[in-house]
Structure 1
């Protein structure tokens, strides 16, 4: 089958795009059977390469537990495909829309149609899930898809290219190379829709490039997702759930808890419980096979710098006891780190952390966390812990975030019937389940006129008939 090679030059990428685009304009839209066939082939690809994908991803990170890849990537995608296959016939059906009385007995319908060619620029932190999840929605909607994997996950990118090339023709689904310059060429192509997952900084560049072609974009970015702990919360439960969410993939998750707001009187107790929970989960030695490495030396050094800056500015440092810095660094594993007394002027509070470092800020008045969140870029996720429903609803009403989970973290992302997307600096657009199908479709409104309708009464020459028609319209409107 024809594929785009891992080191394909720019003209090869453009060539496959134009082949996909031409077919999207000239061939009939894929029917239900064709779409289901593509989804089932994708499911087969995932199932047959599950172990190989996990191994390649682990090699790219330096180490990542296969169980984390299975839980956060493979099972998520298999569930998404299963839900999509079961639901696709209904999603594709014309949708009934109410018709105003004056147009009866005519009817309105929304017809879902494929947009054409959807591009996906994928990140490295969940290279399998965040590459194929948008592709599932795009394929379900009847589109042709091109994927540009992350250069930070070269082993996975090569394996994905090979696997896709064996299961799909490049006019259906193609994977590009990852060499220098490919991202710029890819983002400049006039896709019918472009999905980017990554940092806000790069997202702005991608959006600007897409804007030159008036290409609509779905941007899944990140930012600083807060945890707000209410006075009514159970500190032990908060600590366990936040610790898990922060240590999963070593914090390299776009919706990971980025910092915690806790009542002043509960701060030290929470810090103690967090440290205890983190130690239970991954121990205090870097050799633990259940703990993921940081993706690169550059990212590791960045985390080191953020922690050093916070400590220099007065933050209290909480890490595993008797830490052997060299041993952790040699495995590129960053020790779980809690920073007490974080302040807004610290560098760690100015940018997304993307690592297992958790700043804690305390408050006295319940309005303080809300004011702080609203004074900064809108986060991709917000987490609230407590039992006081009035305070909970006040926080939800007065803050805007891409999504929220109450009394836990991350879980809103896993809901197949809920959209996943950011807002403002944390992104735009959304996908997953029916939301993904709609994001990658044109819902075309169609009006079917009835021969019984008296629209001719509105044609010139105007006379008594138009007066009666206007009177009717005023009455029914």
Structure 2
């Protein structure tokens, strides 16, 4: 594997050095090929996603295939505009110099994708890297083996195989990849692994983008949204159980609600779950399964904590053989329990009660910064407090998870939930170095720049740095001191 990585990286660097990937035509050709690949292989992609995760084809299209095609189409349509150098308005002090910023590719990019959305979390960052003119090596996740094998087999048939490469394998392969010097590393996954990647990148001072996770809270201010509670409950249910069975970094992790409304919320959630998945969710075909036995056993351990067991008010059944966990609701599990102190990443929804919904601000602030905060409220004061007093990768009011699908907005975390951002133009920027270009003029010189120093030059510089140009003119003319 060491030799394979060496050879792949050498070929990628040679391809990049040739200048081929800098061509806008080349970039567009690759983006068109990604769209064609998804269209040609829609059924196969849905099949492998069902094999790996039990995803229904509609869910697979919504969260992965359709998302990728939209992302590639956006990049294809906007690339000419993105690559244009951006003019900078320089201060008058620098006249007649001019300035601009050009976006240049980093070079050889390593993308480490995740298993929960193995198609979209592989191809979407690749779209950004290609748009910016890089060569890319994708390490597909071993936990979604069928999707990874499909990508490894199919991508070389559509894309430039000397510039775009795919490697399968487990953690040992990732370890080998991280020993090499890359020009940029993009990772989607857990904060624990993110720290390992950041440490490896530090050896070469490699820039990283880490899309991690965290416990995304959902605030329900029932006072201000009482007339819309059916929509609120539907959106929470969809955000918890409707996307990879809660195995998503932006999934609703827990709900904060006033104690007086908790029982009503639970009684509204129960029939909503049944409307989504029927009386027997295991047989519905619409609920993704837990990815591996190891992940199942982790979730089972969280649920089997005696204090957590006592808090189950709905669901809780499990089938290890079928990697199935029923949509489950908890009411006030112990706050010091493991389930309330690590990302759940599964179909379990804790509901935490508060005396007053305003206390949700302090509760969220007591936890690590989440990837997303969701808040169902029409109270402008509460909205302002959420925005000004909390920190998170994003805030979405009166909906969940849709911010991820909107490529007009940046997607990324802060603190333990991630570093950097991508999607749409932000993906192009993620994989580009913005290089400052300044062109001076030899027609004039500013003598105050040069020794010998004196009080005249010092005063001149004081006024110039303050951009006090009127006073500067008067000073030069000798009309002021």
**TM-score normalised to structure 2 length:** 0.92
Distance in 2 separating the partners of 1:64 and 1:312? 28
Match in the other structure for 2:345: 354
1 or 2 for the larger relative contact order (CA 8 Å, sep ≥6)? 1
Q: Match of 1:255? A: 250
Q: Distance in 2 between matches of 1:90 and 1:407?
A: 33
- Give yes or no for the alignment of 1:308 onto 2:300: no
The 8 Å contact of residues 421 and 428 in structure 1, kept in 2 or not, is answered as yes
Does the residue aligned with 1:280 lie in a helix, a strand or coil? helix
Taking structure 1 as reference, are residues 474 and 64 closer, same or farther at Cα in structure 2, changes over 3 Å only? Answer: closer
Taking the TM superposition and a 5 Å limit, the aligned residue runs for 1:7-86 are 9-27=1-19, 30-61=22-53, 63-86=54-77
CA distance in structure 2 between the aligned counterparts of 1:459 and 1:28, rounded to whole angstroms: 44
Q: Does 1:134 align with 2:125?
A: yes
Call closer, same or farther: CA 1:474–1:66 in 2, change over 3 Å.
Answer: closer
Where structure 2 has 5 or more consecutive residues not aligned to the other structure, the ranges are 469-481
Summarize the Cα distance change of 1:310–1:358 in structure 2 as closer, same or farther, 3 Å threshold. Answer: farther
Moved more, 409-418 or 364-373: 364-373
Conserved? CA contact 1:246–1:356, under 8 Å: yes
Name the SS of the counterpart of 2:342 in structure 1: coil
Is the CA contact 1:458–1:469 (under 8 Å) kept in the aligned structure 2?
A: no
The aligned residue for residue 379 of structure 2 is 388
1:30-429 correspondence to structure 2 within 5 Å: 30-61=22-53, 63-179=54-170, 181-230=172-221, 231-234=223-226, 235-248=229-242, 249-285=244-280, 286-309=282-305, 311=307, 314-319=310-315, 325=318, 328-429=319-420
| 1:10 shift after superposition | 2.2
Q: Deviations over 1:40-85 (max 9, x none)?
A: 1111111111111110121112x22011110001111111111111
Which deviations, in whole Å up to 9, do the C-alpha atoms of 1:387-413 show, x marking residues without a partner? 212212211221111112111110111
Q: Could you tell me how far apart the structure 1 residues matched to 2:454 and 2:358 are?
A: 64
Task: Give the secondary structure class of the aligned counterpart of 1:51.
Answer: helix
**Count of aligned residue pairs for this structure pair:** 463
**Residue 254 to residue 463, structure 1, CA distance change in 2 (3 Å):** closer
**Secondary structure at 1:400 match in 2:** coil
Cα distance in 2 for residues equivalent to 1:243 and 1:388: 22
RMSD of aligned alpha carbons:
2.0
**CA deviation map 1:176-233 (0-9, x unaligned):** 1214510111122211110111111111111111111111111111110000111322
- Deviation of the 1:473 alpha carbon: 2.3
Distance in 2 between residues matched to 1:242 and 1:392, nearest whole Å: 18
Contact 1:120 1:134 in 2 (8 A): yes
CA distance, structure 2, for counterparts of residue 471 and residue 306 of structure 1: 64
Q: Mean Cα displacement is larger for which, 307-316 or 184-193? A: 307-316
Q: Counterpart of 1:232 in 2: which secondary structure?
A: helix
- Choose 354-363 or 275-284, whichever is displaced more: 275-284
Shift of 1:453: 3.3
Unaligned runs of 5+ in 1: 1-8
Residue 461 to residue 308, structure 1, CA distance change in 2 (3 Å): closer
Change (3 A) 1:388 1:171: same
Distance 2:391 2:238 in 1: 24
Q: Look up the SS of the partner of 1:213 in the other structure.
A: coil
Do the aligned residues in 2 keep the contact of 1:310 with 1:346 (CA within 8 Å)?
Answer: no
Do 1:310 and 1:348's aligned partners in 2 also have CA atoms closer than 8 Å?
Answer: no
For the 8 Å contact 2:358–2:382, the answer to whether it is kept is no
Q: Bigger CA drift: 121-130 or 229-238?
A: 229-238
When the two structures are superposed, what TM-score results if normalisation uses the length of structure 1? 0.92
Query: Offset of 1:11 from its aligned partner?
Result: 1.4
* SS at structure 1 position matched to 2:51: helix
SS of equivalent to 1:233? helix
* Matched-pair contact (CA < 8 Å) for 1:382–1:401: yes
Moved more, 349-358 or 443-452: 443-452
- Whether the 8 Å contact between 1:313 and 1:346 is mirrored in structure 2 is no
- Distance, in Å, in 1 between the alignment partners of 2:378 and 2:455 is 67
Change (3 A) 1:465 1:265: closer
